[in-house]
Structure 1
């Protein structure tokens, strides 16, 4: 919006092209509506942390059990073993169980006593099969990866609003998990649910961006992220007070059906309507925005606008500059930036979700630790915004990744007896990687030219999803060594920080439109550096 346009808006008059530049009551109401589903979708996307969480259990020895048997090893259990997956063998003719009643032999266990039925580990009898419970999170992430490929096309083909509503309401299919009696059926439902819930993020974010002006695009990203963090924290509270997994599923999935009313409450993106030639619908939405924000619009002039004129008002062109992917991948500079961006996006997702999932393994109450881990995302987002606007993109990311890596490794080597030291290092590592998560998205968007930005960012998003897929498997590494997950997180983060030395600072640079402009900017920067040395 120009200075003159801003003055006109303040006086009450408004040009057609400035309708979306004013942030008023319409945007506030729509922003709240659009962001609200992300609270529930976020809880769905991390439900496996507690729904499929591990439990304490031990092997059942029917000859020795009584009505008061618990998952704790009883006094009669042989001192030579504490393996919860193996069953000690009784000596022949034993009628009373003591420590001396067993032979040195062990046999594979087939029946267990669980501490509770709070997770599917007990109800689906998944004892001593940690790969099955951990694979549920990976299957969920694969479903979200599938949705990433499909939902973008659905948004462009059928609209942002219907895609958002169908994906959110369709996620109710997750309620069927309560009736699953086998692990195979459970993961099929988990996959289908993730294919739907994962598809809600893109239309929501696109809607937020397309109903506001340039000045408020950062605000839309921050607000959307904060609703996601709110969902993470709320999920921890729900699991804390209602730990039974079927209760959790009921609480987080049931409200989704109410979002069917979004067909009447949420309005389609006017920019999408204009692009698709739905001129009258676009005009109706723009008129609604002007009325809600109390803008003095020249209705006679507005009603006379045709499709071409409306596109011209909002700088929407029918043809965009495209470059062949072959030309993009022949550029060494682009390939270098692509390598850095994919590693950084992978690491941000891998460490962020890995720390969140592994927070339940820290010493102390698992619900409290998970809640603290989610809360640390809030200051991380503010730190990212402040430093990247004040200092730049590259340096804060480099320092952030390295610092997060050091904190992760440090937390892994602090003994459990030093509870607060271990948890503090862990939480600070989570806060810093949260800042890097947001910063990496912004930075990688600025690294690529407009002609190939969508395709290259898609590869970065794919790498991010792969990191999210591997994160749920990291608790298995704890069975090899308690420090192994922390080492993996730390090494990945440090590697990303080192790789960032290969890319330029983008804060003061204009967005490039073509690969040639990227190459020319690098060549010019090298010439300036060479001249300064001489």
Structure 2
């Protein structure tokens, strides 16, 4: 019976990548190209935080707005939490503006009756809240982020299918183009509904750029280079986050900011012509000559001469491409969907479910802590930058611990640590000033290590021919967390530390689920479902040894 000849059956690709060097000139050039859309993704993923931030506003008292506010404002608006003037309430106006000769005073308001605002007076702060009159409609304000992140339910599987079927660079180029088109149009929104539509379309058709670039980067290097590559990717993503906050602080204009950050996305479409395709993907598709050409190009750029035992199968691979593709053709008709075949495996299905929950937990806590950071005391832009900056040492910590202690032990430890730190926030006395920020940053540090570990871990437990698709499924389901995260500030309206308690509870559950997964430290990437299943059998053998 004829069967497909995968990379693993013909050559040991990981050994070739090892001889080429984890980060030679070829790798550096390609990584530099991939880091550009990742930097942009860092800004795109959280831009909604600065599109519609909560700003200062109050009820409009139309009869008194032209009068000196010191004479009536304190008597017109009740004070609420932290002794601040209410945003949504006013005392009943009982005065007669004409009889008062155009003046307002305490006697014109009945403090026994509190009413809802009908109109609002906004501060000079820039926000979609003011542009679309969203005063006292916090659910509409937070819904912007939820709609944006819900687009990932569409983009990640869609991009994954395109990537696994037509190629990584095609998927990446198309996603970048969609980011540029729909993100740029969003800056011209004339209504709240128009803004929501383009929030969804931009993320729904373009957010897969990050996951595609990540998979390309992971397939570019051997096992020893994956952790460092992952760390580099995450550090650049953090620079995107910090740049977003700094740019927002400087511009104070959400529409101009969107135009500035989305315009470079159009450059990503040129990757269709300048980026090299993944060798591992080409081999899995039987496009051996193209794979060989790219490997030879990498050898030349890295100035590496591969040994004869490696070069020989490479040469044979190019010679037999045509005959093998003819043998495989009938079988391709019988096995139209590698994705369906993979999901027939009980082991793979279990991994998809567990990895999806791990991803949900990471996105919920990671984005939740970032979004709620603007509510901390102090400058919201600096707070956001600090919470983002702490991810850089977290990613380097990830580099140190993943290859030393393994994926499972790292995940369990960081999930438990995140739970302890988040829950401890609810136990602190209210008069503490600096300690909550320290614990908050520590919580972000630990969940970042977990998130980085999950990203690389999930890319290691699935086979090559469906890696992007299954990673996309886990990531898409995981976006339940990032979709709900923008709504967590609403929980704080009922109890300040309620979001932190939710974060801690989920990370405890996730830590328990990690025990059901195999260890993948220093294990070559599986190319087939059978190789992926052996990871669990390998675990069982070790446990019984």
Q: TM-score range by the shorter chain?
A: 0.7 to 0.9
The one of 277, 299, 302 aligned to 1:293: 302
Matched, 1:132 2:132: no
- After TM superposition, the structure 1 stretch with the greater mean CA deviation from structure 2, 20-29 or 222-231, is 20-29
Do the aligned residues in 2 keep the contact of 1:323 with 1:452 (CA within 8 Å)?
no
Alpha-carbon contact 1:450-1:514 (below 8 Å) kept:
no
Verify the 8 A CA contact 2:403 2:522 in the aligned structure 1.
no
Contact 1:402 1:493 in 2 (8 A): yes
- Aligned-pair distance for 1:134? 0.8
Going from structure 1 to structure 2, the CA distance change for 1:129 and 1:178 (only over 3 Å counts) comes to same
Give the direction of change, closer, same or farther, for the CA distance of 1:91–1:275 in structure 2 (3 Å limit): same
SS of 2:73's equivalent in the other structure is coil
2:440 to 422, 426, 451: 426
1:43 matched to 2:43? The reply is: yes
Shift of 1:280: 5.4
What is the CA deviation profile of residues 457-505 of structure 1, one whole-angstrom value per residue up to 9, with x for unaligned ones? 5553233211111111101111111111111111112232344455566
Counterparts in 2 of 1:168 and 1:68: CA distance versus 1, 3 Å: farther
Distance of 2:157 and 2:391 partners within structure 1: 27
Give the alignment of 1:114-513 within 5 angstroms. Answer: 114-172=122-180, 173-276=182-285, 278=287, 281-296=290-305, 307=318, 309=320, 328-329=345-346, 340-414=354-428, 417-443=431-457, 459-501=473-515, 507=521, 513=530
Work out the CA distance in 2 between the residues paired with 1:463 and 1:486. Answer: 22
| Greater Cα offset, 24-33 or 362-371 | 24-33
Which residue is 1:75 aligned to?
Answer: 74
Instruction: Indicate the SS of the match to 1:107.
Output: strand
- 117-126 vs 461-470, which moves further: 461-470
Unaligned runs of 5+ in 1: 6-14, 529-534
Please give the alpha-carbon distance, in whole angstroms, between the structure 1 residues aligned to 2:294 and 2:261: 32
CA deviation after TM superposition for structure 1 residue 521, in Å: 5.8
- Matched residues in 2 for 1:301 and 1:504: separation? 34
Q: Provide the secondary structure at the position in 2 that maps to 1:179.
A: coil
In structure 2, the residue corresponding to 1:200 is in which secondary structure?
A: helix
Counterpart contact for 1:41–1:168, Cα < 8 Å: no
Tell me the alpha carbon deviations over residues 21-57 of structure 1, each in whole angstroms, 9 at most, x when there is no partner: 5642121111101111111122011100111111111
Residue 68 of structure 1: CA displacement?
Answer: 7.6
Gaps of 5+ in 2: 1-10
Match of 1:8 in 2: none
Deviations 1:216-248 (A, max 9, x none): 233322222221111111112112222221122
Q: 1:423 to 1:383 in 2, by over 3 A?
A: same
Deviations 1:154-181 (A, max 9, x none): 1133322222122113212212222212
**Hey, what does 2:33 align to over in structure 1?**
33
Contact 1:87–1:106 (Cα < 8 Å) also in 2: yes
> 2:93 is matched with which residue?
90
Map Cα deviations across residues 126-167 of structure 1 (whole Å, 9 max, x no partner).
111111111111111111221111111211333222221221
Query: More relative contact order in 1 or in 2 (CA 8 Å, sep 6+)?
Result: 2
Q: Normalization by structure 1: what TM-score?
A: 0.82
Mapping of residues 44-59 of structure 1, within 5 Å: 44-59=44-59
SS at 2:133 equivalent: coil
Change (3 A) 1:339 1:193: closer
Q: Secondary structure at the match of 2:136?
A: coil
Counterparts of 2:30 and 2:54 in 1: how far apart (Å)? 40
SS in structure 2 of the partner of residue 100 of structure 1: helix
Of 450-459 and 156-165, deviating more is 450-459
Q: In structure 2, what is the Cα distance between the partners aligned to 1:521 and 1:260?
A: 42
